[in-house]
Amino acid sequence: MGQVIQIDEARIRDHLGEMVRGTVEEALNAMLDAEADRLCGAGRYERSEGRKDTRAGSYERS
């Protein structure tokens, strides 16, 4: 019963900062992927007749 719980606020703040950063990164990447899908007319690695562009920027060479 003599044990005391100690909270390290700096570690909690750092951990929360990492969680928020990770969540924002995932959300932005999902939005960018969705926009690329829309602009290309196909999803990543998807082949379709209506595909307008390639996601990696490749093009026909002469």
Q: What is the mean pLDDT of residues 2-8?
A: 87
pLDDT, position 20 = 96
- Of 34, 57, 55, nearest to 46 by C-alpha is 55
pLDDT, position 42 = 79
What element of type H or E holds 39?
A: helix 9-40
The domain segmentation of the chain, as residue ranges, is 8-40
Residue matched to tokens 């900062």: 17
- 59 or 24: which leads in pLDDT: 24
Is pLDDT at 5 greater than 70 in this prediction? yes
For the segment 15-32, what is each residue's pLDDT rounded down to a tens digit?
A: 999 999 999 999 999 999
For the segment 33-48, what is each residue's pLDDT rounded down to a tens digit?
A: 999 888 877 777 777 7
Tokens of 8: 């390290």
